[in-house]
């Protein structure tokens, strides 16, 4: 089942999405969180940091596994996802860094790294809540449109449109890595709860296609239609096409 919740703006989206995570951590202080990067979850992470500062939540026992990491970037590279997580969440809350996991962008043997990461995810005993964004081509993690859905951690080749979209974070397009480690679609779908955050007009069409179109690996996020507990938080711009085509499908926060 998919719930689609429209927030008034990015800040409210972050607050609402964070509330779902806070309520999980209150129920289960050692929850396993699957985390995502990108611009969409920034207000969510800011709201979690805020709640921590106010003494409303402790991450001391929380464990995390991230969706993906660029191949070739060291953990301290400005655009690595390890660095993103440290800058936007891990260094700002009381999480134990030993409980945080990402694929190793510098792994010498990519195939072995995929299997190692599968073992890490399995050792957690299941992801309680997975945070996701959606790429402009409907990708989740770095699982790009393809003829089949991926299952476990895989070495993804970034689509040209993904490189274009992510080039804004790098000095030039040539510097964007062309490959990444990504948790697979099968692995993502095993999470007990899925929380997707979506912002902006440029995601409005693909979001409608993913949530209401055919379930196909050519739109990887369409697999969410098979999820049992999926909540999509969007801003008015991202929700606009769904609101126009499927009146009543969107709940206003």
139 in catalytic set:
yes
Phi, psi values for residue 210, rounded to 5°: -65, -40
Residue (14 or 135) nearer to ligand GLP, CB:
135
| 2 contacts 210 by C-beta, under 8 angstroms | no
* Residue with token string 């999405």: 17
Kindly give the pairing relationship between strand 68-70 and strand 179-182.
antiparallel
User: Residue from 14, 34, 38, 177 that binds ligand GLP (CB under 6 A)?
Assistant: 38
Under 8 Å CB-to-CB from 100, ≥6 apart: which residues?
63, 64, 66, 85, 90
Min CB(111)–ligand GLP separation in Å: 20
User: Residue from 13, 21, 40, 211 that binds ligand GLP (CB under 6 A)?
Assistant: 40
Please identify, among the stretches 82-90, 122-130, 133-141, 144-152, the one whose residues bind ligand GLP according to the rule CB under 6 A: 133-141
Residue (57 or 70) nearer to ligand GLP, CB:
70
6, 10, 52, 68: which is the annotated catalytic residue? 68
**Does residue 133 interact with ligand GLP by CB under 6 A?**
yes
List binders of ligand GLP among 142-171 (CB under 6 A). Answer: 142, 162, 166
| 17 contacts 4 by C-beta, under 8 angstroms | no
Q: Which two tokens stand for residue 88?
A: 């936007």
User: Residue from 103, 138, 141, 184 that binds ligand GLP (CB under 6 A)?
Assistant: 141
Strand partners, 131: 195
Q: Which two tokens stand for residue 120?
A: 């890490």
Please identify, among the stretches 5-13, 32-40, 147-155, 222-230, the one whose residues bind ligand GLP according to the rule CB under 6 A: 32-40
Output DSSP code: residue 79.
Answer: T
Min CB(132)–ligand GLP separation in Å: 6
Min CB(63)–ligand GLP separation in Å: 19
The b-or-e profile of 152-179 (16+ CB within 10 A means b, else e) is bbbbbebbeebeebbeeeeeeeeebbee
**Catalytic residue positions, numbered:** 68, 137, 139, 144
Applying CB under 6 A, the residues found at the interface with ligand GLP are 36-40, 67-68, 133-135, 141-142, 162, 166
């Amino acid at each position: 089942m998919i719930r689609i919740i429209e927030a008034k703006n990015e800040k409210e989206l972050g607050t609402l999405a964070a509330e779902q995570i806070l309520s999980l951590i209150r129920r289960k202080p050692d929850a396993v969180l699957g985390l995502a990067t990108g611009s969409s979850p920034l207000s969510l992470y800011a709201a979690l940091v805020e709640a921590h500062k106010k003494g409303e939540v402790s991450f001391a026992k929380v464990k995390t596994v991230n969706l993906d990491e660029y191949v070739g970037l060291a953990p301290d590279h400005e655009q690595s996802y390890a660095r993103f997580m440290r800058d936007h969440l891990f260094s700002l809350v009381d999480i134990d860094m030993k409980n945080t996991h990402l694929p190793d962008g510098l792994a010498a043997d990519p195939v072995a790294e995929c299997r190692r990461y599968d073992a890490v995810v399995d050792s957690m005993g299941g992801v309680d809540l997975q945070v996701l964004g959606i790429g402009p081509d409907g990708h989740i993690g770095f699982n790009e449109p393809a003829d089949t859905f991926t299952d476990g951690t895989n070495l993804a080749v970034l689509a040209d449109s993904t490189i274009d979209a992510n080039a804004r974070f790098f000095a030039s397009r040539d510097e964007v890595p062309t490959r990444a480690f990504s948790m697979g679609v099968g692995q993502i779908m095993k999470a007990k709860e899925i929380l997707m955050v979506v912002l902006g007009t440029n995601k409005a069409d693909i979001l409608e296609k993913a949530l209401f179109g055919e379930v196909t690996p050519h739109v990887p996020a369409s697999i969410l239609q098979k999820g049992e507990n999926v909540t999509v938080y969007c801003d008015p711009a991202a929700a606009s096409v769904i609101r126009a085509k499927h009146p009543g499908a969107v709940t206003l926060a």
